[in-house]
Structure 1
Amino acid sequence: MDRPLVCVGALVSDGDGRVLLARTTKWRGLWGVPGGKVDWGETLLDAVAREFREETGLILRDVEYAQTQEAVLSPEFHKPSHMLLFDYFARTDSVQIMPNEEIAEWAWVTLEEAASYPLNTYTQTLVALAQRRAM
């Protein structure tokens, strides 16, 4: 029997008022934040740190829980999927991205600029939360 996938992602700040957005191959051309599936036996925090290291080369610090979302058969995702999305806020000391094959494009932008990008709906929610918190 299929079960929901547990996934993590983070809206990461560079310390200069900018956050990292990425366009991946999995969201039909929409922009979002790096992240991915939690491995068996891995904590959510370990997973978000690993996913960022793998996808961007970034080392995260000050990782803080933001919200949980549920994506059930989202037409924005490249295949039918049921995901539980654990979102975080974090910081990094480097803006040098070393993308893996999943990252098609990336940009460091202000939260105001982020809202003007073609974001997937789950990232729109995360950016709106960051704006309310004045990240």
Structure 2
Amino acid sequence: MPPQFPLATVGALVTAPDGRVLIVKTTKWRGTWGVPGGKVEWGETLETALKREFQEEVGLDLLEIKFALVQEAVNDQQFHCPAHFVLLNYYARCESTQVTPNEEIVEWQWVTPQEALDFPLNSFTKLLLEDYQQRFIRV
């Protein structure tokens, strides 16, 4: 039986020193690509949860963490099971591009933000990328 309340989750679009961003394909989002992240544990701050999730999933240390946006997923068909998530999204950067994936990460790519939009992204990551481009990329 699913929880009777929404679950808080954190995730981040992370930029490498060369400007590329990390996208990942996980076992949880039905073949779509997204960003690393996960559930906030009891008593954990959002930033601590984000740093922990990135260490666990891809082995990266995050720097310059900045809040991006909030999204909500209520029994979204893109997720592998019924769930109600409050998705707290961030932007951050990292010094390394050396990914050490855990068992949840099927594939990963460092790509430009524009190239990322060519991947089959989950809708939440697509919105985060579009927001990032509007805020930070000048054409």
TM bracket (short chain): over 0.9
- CA-based RMSD of the aligned residues comes to 0.8
What are the equivalent positions in structure 2 for 1:1-135 lying under 5 Å apart? 2-134=4-136
Identity of aligned residues (%): 55
For residues 38-57 of structure 1, the C-alpha deviation after alignment (integer angstroms, 9 at most, x for no partner) is 00000000000000000000
| TM-score where L is the length of structure 2 | 0.95
Alignment-mate amino acid for residue 107 of structure 2: E
CA distance in structure 1 between the aligned counterparts of 2:93 and 2:133, rounded to whole angstroms: 16
Q: What is the Cα deviation at residue 133 of structure 1?
A: 1.1
Kindly tell me the number of residue pairs found equivalent between the two proteins.
135
Quote the Cα distance in structure 2 between the aligned partners of 1:16 and 1:129: 20
Structure-1-length-normalised TM-score: 0.98
Distance in structure 1 (CA, Å) of the matches to 2:17 and 2:120 = 24
Please, which runs of 5 or more residues in structure 1 have no aligned partner? none
Q: Distance in 1 between matches of 2:22 and 2:133?
A: 14
C-alpha displacement at 1:15, in angstroms?
1.7
Tell me, in whole angstroms, the C-alpha distance in 1 between the residues paired with 2:5 and 2:15.
32
Q: What is the identity, as a one-letter code, of the residue corresponding to 1:82?
A: H
Return the offset for 1:17: 1.3
2:67 and 2:90 map into 1 onto residues whose CA distance is 4
CA distance in 2, matches of 1:6, 1:110: 28
